[in-house]
Structure 1
């Protein structure tokens, strides 16, 4: 299955192509991700909010979530393409998922007017998070 999601008028997120269960290419305008920046995004509760639901190998961050899969081992469980799609649009796999679509701007529910047409993370931030998650090869203990 290949789906082309075009840039909508006024939307911040550019198009991307889904092939199978992933987005194989880097998001438009992004360079290859930087794992250190990706870790910082995941750890920052003001930017990614990842640790609200996920647990991850970030021991300095207390009170990590337990609603979603442990991020440890994510790089062994999913390819970069699969991770990219899960971050871009978690609802693609599970429409009732509570995980936000970090890069999709249309077809969302209950989005405040100030955030209409805007992404949570930009293309480079998505690629940075994917790069960091790909380093997490060891399963959770």
Structure 2
């Protein structure tokens, strides 16, 4: 009876250790979660004004003020992760942790008539080259560069 309990405890410890090895650090995990909230919509098709207005509000990018530009990536999260395996390139901030890939996206740009209380966006949908910054080991996306 003690043997199955020992095996169970060893299995739990092994799973905890594996989780610690695979997970990004706490700071990068926070950046990764922010990246997901702001830029990933694997299920959505995007491309419309209605989509941008809804998603920017739903994803909390209209408070305390309107975010001027945001891009939503319409790819499977694992496909986005795989971009981190592409060769490194220089980011806009000079760091060398950016990677280039091609993805379906919706670019949401604030219209000139927006107010803080009433953010409005126009939408552009395309399949284009994107650049994301990746950190941690294993590498995870943490910033949409361009």
Bin for the TM-score computed over the shorter chain: under 0.3
The structure whose Rg is larger is: 2
TM-score computed with the length of structure 2 as normaliser: 0.23
Question: Which structure's relative contact order is higher, taking Cα pairs within 8 Å and 6+ residues apart?
Answer: 1
Greater share of helix:
2
